[in-house]
Structure 1
Amino acid sequence: MPELPEVETIKSTLNELVIGRKIKDVEIRWANIIKYPEDTVQFKHLLLGQAIHNVNRKGKFLLFELDDYILVSHLRMEGKYGLFDASEPLSKHTHVIFFFGDGKQLRYNDVRKFGTMHLFTKGQELLEKPLNQLGPDPFEATFTLDYFYEKVHKSERNIKSILLDQSVIAGLGNIYVDETLFKAGVLPTRKGSELTKKEVEDIQLYAKETLEQAVAQGGTTIRSYVNSQGEIGMFQQELFVYGQENKECKHCGSPIVKTRVAGRGTHICVNCQS
């Protein structure tokens, strides 16, 4: 699943590809992707003639800023956007097509068909699901230590579950949670209520630092992730624990262990984390 760095990279590449383009037509080939309005005919009608002015991001969501609307898109497991010439053949996994007046098409491809799209009048997108359920983005000023410590300290859940909870912090997923906890020296099984304020501060620091480094590398490509220009990320070369099971820890030489925490495959160094 694309996490914050991958979605940030996709946002940046989309801004290079689609800014200023006007939507001439829309073809919806898999209706279940359209969540609001549920009437796909209305969804299409509202988009006709709308120009794309900017692509933003909140957590793992892309926000297409149009003349009158905000299109909120979540890629889920395998969603991808790409700009194509109309003459290029369609993939069997192309499910939504935005036609532009110059013969180009923005195509949304999704092998698993789990992605979602919501279309809101400008100003309503943050007041409605799904965005109104999100906690602060790690790069937002509202992601303060006081806020984060309060959320963590009052929870009896393990810290990995807390970090994966998008209502607490938006954007973190399995890869960057494992990397953050390794750098902070904290086992993912530790209860939030047991962590010291210094440990929570370290987690906050390394979460932001890890995400910044991953964004600079264009994200992490483990399986199929590419940006909207078809380029893979490179941060996988910098990973300390995620996907490194049985390899030597880069800090202490102990083997990286893969276990299961919060229902997710989880990578740790039992020597460096406690």
Structure 2
Amino acid sequence: MPELPEVETIRLTIMPEVVNKTIKEVSFFYPRILPKNTPEEFIENVQNRKIVDIKRRGKYLLFELDSEQLIIMHLRMTGRLLTYKSTEAEATIEKHTSVIFTFTDNSQLRFVDQRKFGTIYLIAPENISIIAGLKDIGPEPLSGDFSLPYLKKILDSNRTIKSLLLDQKLIAGIGNIYADEILFRSRIHPTRTGKSITLQEQELLHKAAQEVLKEALLHEGTTIRDYLTGSGMKGNFQNRLRVYGKTGEKCVNCDSLVERIKVAGRSTHYCPSCQRSDEL
């Protein structure tokens, strides 16, 4: 699933091709991508409307229209947003295309989703709470709201640190890949409880979260299988992963082998030597 760095990279790469353009038509190939609207209702409300901005909240993309309505997209497991210039608009429609937005200059934005878990909503800003994932979403980990005092507060829990990092109600946008990488750089075992994390470790964790996410953004995200930027390019951070997907390989810091276990129902990668299960 695209996480914060991937969704933000998509936002940045599609903005120059989409913002300030007027939607001429919308073609649905998979109407069930709309949980709350019919295709007819959606088209009626967005046709001839201009996209004035694109924002991100966690793993959601929010397209602001000149009507003040929002088109909100979540890519889920395998969703892609790809832009096509007017000269490319006749390109073959991929098998897994769910919807195509065509603009008045004949350029396009296509939502392609192999597993068909992605969603699109059309709502007024005051009704954003109807989307459960946005109603109670936590602070952005690269914002000032994600402070050390806030981190200390959410760690006052008997839940595992891995599950806390993944909880979108506590921190927006962190998924399995970056949780593993953050914990490795923090030298914290993923099964430790939030309450067991010392003040020193809290500082390491906060710093690691900032570093990992900023580096991933710099390298345009992580492509393991499906993720592509809005311009159709792979990310590069997969070449800098230290534990995720490295089961059985030597740790970059020591001679121990990276192990994989299940934590909070998710495959979790860690170094048993660098990430001790006891406190520092």
Deviates more, 1:259-268 or 1:80-89: 80-89
User: What TM-score comes out, normalization by structure 2 length?
Assistant: 0.93
Partner of 2:137: 134
The one-letter amino acid of 2:168's match is: Q
2:150 to 132, 147, 151: 147
Partner of 2:235: 233
Q: 1:10-89 alignment to 2 at 5 Å?
A: 10-36=10-36, 38-67=37-66, 68-84=68-84, 85-89=88-92
Deviations 1:231-268 (A, max 9, x none): 11111111111111111111112111112111111111
**C-alpha distance in 1 between matches for 2:81 and 2:204:** 35
Partner of 2:261: 259
Partner of 1:224: 226
The one-letter amino acid of 2:81's match is: Y
Structure 1 alignment gaps of length 5 or more: none
The one-letter amino acid of 1:97's match is: I
- Secondary structure in structure 2 of the residue aligned to 1:90: coil
- Secondary structure in structure 1 of the residue aligned to 2:73: strand
The one-letter amino acid of 2:111's match is: Y
Provide the identity percentage. Answer: 42
**Cα-Cα RMSD:** 1.5
Deviations 1:122-144 (A, max 9, x none): 45436853312210110222112
**C-alpha distance in 1 between matches for 2:131 and 2:254:** 47
Deviations 1:42-65 (A, max 9, x none): 122111111112221111111112
Deviates more, 1:206-215 or 1:54-63: 54-63
**C-alpha distance in 1 between matches for 2:153 and 2:239:** 34
Deviations 1:142-164 (A, max 9, x none): 112112211111x2111101111
Partner of 1:120: 123
**C-alpha distance in 2 between matches for 1:40 and 1:103:** 21
1:166 to 146, 165, 168: 168
Q: 1:179-218 alignment to 2 at 5 Å?
A: 179-218=181-220
Partner of 2:252: 250
**C-alpha distance in 2 between matches for 1:268 and 1:122:** 41
The one-letter amino acid of 2:97's match is: T
Corresponding pairs, count: 272
**C-alpha distance in 2 between matches for 1:183 and 1:237:** 16
When residues 53 and 126 of structure 1 are mapped into structure 2, their CA distance, relative to the original with a 3 A threshold, is farther
Deviates more, 1:185-194 or 1:88-97: 88-97
Deviates more, 1:45-54 or 1:178-187: 45-54
- Secondary structure in structure 2 of the residue aligned to 1:35: coil
The one-letter amino acid of 1:161's match is: S
- Match status 1:272 vs 2:280: no
Deviates more, 1:214-223 or 1:16-25: 16-25
User: What TM-score comes out, normalization by structure 1 length?
Assistant: 0.95
Deviates more, 1:89-98 or 1:197-206: 197-206
